[in-house]
Amino acid sequence: MQSIPTRILVEISLCVALAVVLNALTLLRMPYGGTVSLVMLPIIVIALRRGVFAGVTTGVIYGLIELMIDPVIVHPLQVVLDYVIAFGAVGVAGIFRTVYLRTAEANSRSIRGLALLFLAVALSSALRYCAHVVSGYIFFAQYAPAGQPAILYSALYNLFVPVSAIGVFAAAALTLPALHSVSLSRARGLNGGQD
Amino acid sequence: MRPPVPFGQYVPIDSPIHALDPRTKMGLMAAVGITLFTVEGFMGLGVVASMLLVVIALSRVPWHLVTRGLKAVTLLLSFTLLAHALRWEPATVSLVRLGPLAIDQGGLLQGLFFSARIVILVLGSTLLTLTSSPVEITDGLTRIMRPLERLKVPVGDIAMMLTIALRFIPTMAEEAEKIMVAQIARGARFDQRWPVSRARAYIPVLIPLFVNLFKRAEALAIAMEARCYTGGYGRTRLHQSTMTKTDISVLLAACLVLAVIAVTL
């Protein structure tokens, strides 16, 4: 029984390793915790190269490793939301795979390609933001006295995600077209199969 | 400029806590978590905290490493404490008064209770990562998830991906450092203030990193298949971790004590 082809399995693993390294290269540290980094970039790259399944798997594995390396546990549900669901959701960017690869094939620097990339980054960051906000809401609702705007606290606290998204989009918009000619296109047409 | 190699916090010492199977430690952590969310008074928290202190002492891990995890939750802790303790125009018993602002006694106690719970949770989970290496945790996690294989969850593949990723974190960090140093030599700067300009500064690092990543993935996949890797299902390990009698008795005893605490206190 082999469910994930070796080639994709290895790519996922190496993208996870790169995400861990990029997470350490902080772009900006928020004054109250939470860091702005390019951690979402490898997950989005693998999602656009291999599709939603590979993207979500990369996110989830990254979450698990982050949990092993540097856990912050304040609530059981928070662990699942902040580590597994938040990063898994980033991989959903893979729904743009087919259309992005087709566009990039024609012209990797076209406005359309850039717009698709923007949509992919925006969608995955929005989903990640939602997961963190729900997790924060659970935390603040549990620990803040009743009657306080828990959802507002959480939305503010997690603002580092949209800020990261801007950096990730800037990096993706400049990296992916260059990568396309070298790496992305080779995965096209294989439909998740092995080279 | 050296990118920090983020490779866990594991402290390899020879201690009775290090010797426990990772599954035992994860089970204990889960039991402590459940107990913390069931106990209603300071008494229960106190007993769990003192048990944890004994375990920390037994693990012989330096204190400053155990408490380092608390830094990340400083804001959450102070928020929890202040949100409960501070009252605007208080109607209840107030300890200190400063104009319309006051510290409420009941609120302060409640804030302390919740903060203590967070502190115990954070210390417990930090201790787990301090006393078991990521590889051990992966191994334990895989063994715990094994029954999910019946539901077609590719547990073996997940274990393989975790293992490869952990193995390649230092390699990736080293490669990132090499490329960054090379770009600095060509005049690149990584110290801009704005995140977007910093992200842009990383472009000449990211492109070679990704290109090498996919090249390396190809080589590694070929090497694995040449050695007859056919998926994680049914793979065995060279160093098999086993649940010893000590593991089982520690787990059972601790769960029993925690269950009593959860029910009574």
Q: What is the DSSP string of A137-173?
A: HHHHHHHSPTTS-HHHHHHHHTTHHHHHHHHHHHHHH
Confidence of residue A194 (pLDDT cuts 50, 70, 90): very low
Asked if the C-beta of B76 comes within 8 angstroms of chain A's C-beta atoms, the answer is yes
Query: What's the one-letter identity of residue B185?
Result: A
79-138 of B, contacting A, C-beta below 8 A = 79-80, 83-84, 107, 110, 114, 118, 121-122, 124-126, 128-129, 134, 137-138
A144: left (phi over 0), alpha (psi -120 to 50) or beta: beta
Highest-confidence range of A150-159, B7-16, B118-127, B235-244, by mean pLDDT?
B118-127
Segments making up each domain of chain B, as ranges: 1-150+244-265, 155-232
> Complex ipTM, two decimals?
0.86
Q: What are phi and psi of B104, to 5 degrees?
A: -90, 135
Say what percent of chain B tops pLDDT 90.
15
Q: Could you say which of A7, A23, A179 has the minimum Cβ distance to residue B210?
A: A179
The neighbouring-strand residues paired with B102 are B87, B97
pTM of the entire predicted model: 0.86
Geometric angle at alpha carbon B190, from B188 and B192, rounded to 5°: 115
Amino acid at A18: L
Nearest to B26 by CA among B166, B114, B118, B142: B142
Mean pLDDT calculated for residue range A108-135: 91
Find chain A residues with C-beta within 8 A of B6's C-beta.
20-21, 23-24, 69-70
Q: Is the pLDDT of residue A184 over 70?
A: no
State the Cα–Cα distance between residues B265 and B35, nearest whole angstrom.
10
pLDDT at A59 over 60: yes
Per-residue model confidence (pLDDT) at position B90: 55
- The torsion angles phi and psi of A194, rounded to 5 degrees, stand at -95, 150
Chain A residues touching B209 at Cβ < 8 A: 18
CATH 2.170.190.11 fits A6-185, yes or no: no
Give me B236's structure tokens: 């065995």
Task: Determine the residue type at A25.
Answer: L
- Here the tokens at position A38 are 């390019």
Distance in angstroms (rounded) separating the CA atoms of residues B145 and A61: 14
pLDDT at A18: 94
Record the tokens describing residue A87, joined without a space. 């990063």
Residue A93 amino acid letter: A
Tokens of A90: 């980033």
Rounded CA gap, A74 and B117, in Å? 8
B-chain CB neighbours of A14 within 8 Å are 164-165, 168, 172, 213, 216-217, 220
- The DSSP-derived string for B72-137 is GGHHHHHHHHHHHHEEES--S-EEEEETTEEEEHHHHHHHHHHHHHHHHHHHHHHHHHHHS-HHHH
A100 sits in which H/E element: helix A97-106
Sign of CA dihedral B120, B122, B126, B132: positive
The stretch B223-234 carries a mean pLDDT of 83
Q: Cα(B76)–Cα(B1) distance, rounded to whole angstroms? A: 32
Band (pLDDT 50/70/90 cuts) for residue A127 is very high
On chain A, the residues whose CB falls within 8 A of the CB of B76 are 33, 74, 139, 143
Look at A144 and B75 and tell me if their CB atoms are within 8 Å.
no
- How confident is the model over A67-90, as a mean pLDDT? 87
Binding-face residues of B in 163-222 toward A, CB within 8 A: 163-169, 171-173, 176, 195-196, 198-200, 202-203, 206-207, 209-211, 213-214, 216-218, 220-221
A158-181, pLDDT tens digit by residue? 888 888 888 889 888 888 888 876
A179 phi and psi angles, rounded to 5 deg: -70, -35
Q: For testing the chain B interface, which of A3, A13, A140 should be mutated: the one with the most B CBs within 10 Å?
A: A13
* Helical packing angle, B74-85 and A111-143, nearest 10°: 50
Of chain A residues 90-129, which have a CB less than 8 A from chain B? none
Residues 6+ away with beta carbon under 8 Å from A189: none
CB B66 within 8 A of CB B127: yes
Report pLDDT digits (tens) over A14-45: 999 999 999 888 777 766 656 788 899 999 99
pLDDT tens digits, residue range B237-246? Answer: 777 777 888 8
Residue burial A13-45, b: 16+ Cβ < 10 Å; e: rest: bbbbbbbbbbbbbbbbebeeebbbbbbbbbbbb
Tell if the CB–CB gap between A179 and B221 is shorter than 8 Å.
no
Q: Tell whether the model's pLDDT for residue B154 goes beyond 90.
A: no
Residues from chain A that touch B157, judged by Cβ atoms under 8 A, are: 2-4, 9
Between B65 and A87, residue with greater pLDDT = A87
Q: Which residue has the tokens 């020879």?
A: B14
CA of B150 vs chain A CAs: smallest distance (Å) = 12
Q: What integer pLDDT is reported at residue A128 of this predicted model?
A: 93
Confidence of residue A53 (pLDDT cuts 50, 70, 90): very high
* Mean model confidence pLDDT for chain B: 83
Q: Is the pLDDT of residue A193 over 60?
A: no
The set of long-range contacts for B104-107, using a CB threshold of 8 Å and a minimum separation of 24, is B107/A145
Q: From the list B165, B171, B206, which residue is nearest A65 (CB)?
A: B165
Per-residue confidence (pLDDT) for residue A140, from 0 to 100? 80
- CA gap A135, A138 in Å, rounded: 5
Per-residue pLDDT tens over the stretch B206-221? 999 999 999 999 999 9
Ordered DSSP codes for B193-262: SSHHHHHHHTHHHHHHHHHHHHHHHHHHHHHHHHTT---STT---SS-----HHHHHHHHHHHHHHHHHH
